């Protein structure tokens, strides 16, 4: 996986997040993507919005290595310039 490919995939996530925020929803990005309400974002949840996201690309955003993304990991990815949040 190249950095360019990862950035391309995460740009799709950013577009999804920006679309939801831009639509006036009060929920933050994590809550919007968290379809089962457990407070964490799984690969399956991301793949509903971004079917092309690979496990390797998802795990590159998973700083804790638990196989899930939380709001802090989304924020860290945004701070690193990998995604853009509302």
- The pTM is what? 0.62
The three-class DSSP label of residue 74 is: helix
Question: Kind and range of the H or E element at 4?
Answer: helix 3-22
Quote the pLDDT of residue 63. 94
For domain 3-79, the CATH architecture is: Orthogonal Bundle (1.10)
* pLDDT tens-digit profile, the chain (86 residues): 565 565 566 555 555 544 444 433 345 667 788 899 999 999 998 788 778 878 998 899 999 999 999 989 988 877 887 765 55
Evaluated on CA atoms 7, 62, 85, 40, the torsion sign reads: positive
Hey, where are the domains in the chain? Answer: 3-79
Quote the pLDDT of residue 8. 60
Pick from 85, 69, 64, 60: nearest CA to 1: 60
């Amino acid at each position: 996986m190249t950095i360019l490919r990862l950035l391309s995939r995460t740009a799709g996530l950013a577009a999804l997040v920006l679309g939801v925020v831009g639509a006036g929803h009060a929920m933050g990005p994590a809550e919007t993507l968290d379809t089962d309400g457990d407070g964490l974002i799984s690969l399956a949840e991301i793949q509903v919005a971004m079917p092309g996201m690979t496990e390797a690309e998802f795990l590159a955003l998973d700083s804790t290595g638990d196989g899930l993304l939380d709001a802090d990991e989304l924020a860290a990815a945004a701070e690193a310039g990998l995604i853009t949040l509302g």
